Amino acid sequence: MWFPYSVPVRWKAQSQREHINESLADEDAREFVVGFSLGNPLTREWQVELQLTEPHWTQAAEQEREISTGYYPNDTGLLAEIICRLHESNATMAVRRCYAHVSRMLSCWSALKGRALAIQAFRIADVKHDARWRVLPFRPSTLNFDLPPCEILPESYLTITALYREARNSTSDIYRFLCCHKILSMWKKGADPFGLLQARVSGSGKKLARDYRVSQEMLALSGLINFCPELEGLDFGDLLGPLAIWRQWALQAVIDEGLPDQLGEYEHSRELSSVANLADLAVHRILVDEINGWQNTTADV
C-alpha cells in the first residue's frame, strides 16, 4: 500500500479536547512553545552533526516580534531539537513564524557546514490553555515478500520504474514531484512504455477496464483535500492542468532563472508535499496496473 513519507499535514491533539477547543476559540496574543525535532534525512538519524554540550538560548527579532530560541542536544552531545517561545494569537500562526525562523537557520547551516539538516517532526503547546499537539512522520507497515516480474517486463518498463524509485527514495518533495509529473505526462501522451500493454491486450481481443480518477480517499491520503478538494473526480490525465503552476514553480526552484518565492514557508511546504503526494499516488496506481496487466497477459500466453 502506498503511503506518504513527508511530515503529515494533520496535527494530532495531545491534550484534553476542552483545552484544544479553548485554545482554538481564544484570539488574544499569548505564549506558545513550538519544538522542532531535527535530523539528517540521508542517514535517517534524529540528530544533526552539530556538537552541543548543553542547551543554549538566544533572543531574536523576527517580523519585529521576538522569538526566544533554545537549542537542545541529545545524550550524545549532538543538536537534536530547537525550541521556540513566542507570543501569538493562535497555534497556526505560531507554527508558521517558528517554522520559517528555524528553516532559515537550517538553510544557513546547510550552506555553511555542507550537511543535510531537516525538520523531522514538531510539537506545539499553548501555555495558557495547556493545549498540545504533535506532528510526526508516517511510519510504513510491512508488506509481504514476493518476487517482482523483472524478467518478463520490457526494458522501457524497467526504466520508468527506476525513475519512480528515484522519486520514492528522494527526501525532496520538489524532486519527487518533478519525477512523478514526468511519468504522468508520459502516460498521458502514451509514450513508451505506456501503450505497449494496450496494444498487446487489444491484439488478443481483450479490453482494459480502467477508471483513473482522483478519489476522495486519494485527496485525503495525500493531504491535498485541505487545499484543493475540487480535484475530486478529475481524470488523471487532466491533473496536468492544475499541476502546471506547481511544475513551473518547481522548475524555477531548481533549473530556471530567478528565485522561487515561499520556499521554506510552512503553508507552502505543506501544500507542496500534498501536491507531490497526489502526483505520486496517481503514478503509483498507473504503474501497478501496467505491471500487473503485463504479468497477467504473459501468464495467459
Contact residues for 224 (Cβ-Cβ < 8 A; gap 6+):
231, 271, 274, 275, 277, 278
* Residue 208: predicted pLDDT: 62
Helix residue ranges, H only, the chain:
17-25, 91-113, 155-169, 173-189, 196-203, 216-222, 240-254, 266-300
User: In the prediction, which pLDDT does 205 show?
Assistant: 56
Percent of the chain with pLDDT over 90: 71
- Domain residue extents for the chain: 12-135, 150-300
pLDDT at 301: 52
248: cell is 513551473
Structure confidence at residue 103 (pLDDT):
95
Residue 140 confidence (pLDDT): 79
Cis preceding-peptide flag for 193 (omega within 30 of 0): yes
Q: Which helix (H) or strand (E) holds 12?
A: strand 12-13
Q: What pLDDT, on the 0 to 100 scale, is given for residue 296?
A: 83
Instruction: Give the pLDDT means over successive 10-residue stretches in the chain (301 positions).
Output: 75 95 96 96 91 92 81 96 97 95 95 94 97 89 88 92 95 94 95 86 64 92 92 94 95 85 89 95 94 81 52
Backbone angles phi, psi at 266, to 5 degrees: -60, -55
pLDDT at position 204, please?
A: 60
Beta-bridged to residue 202, according to DSSP, are: none
pLDDT at res. 168 = 94
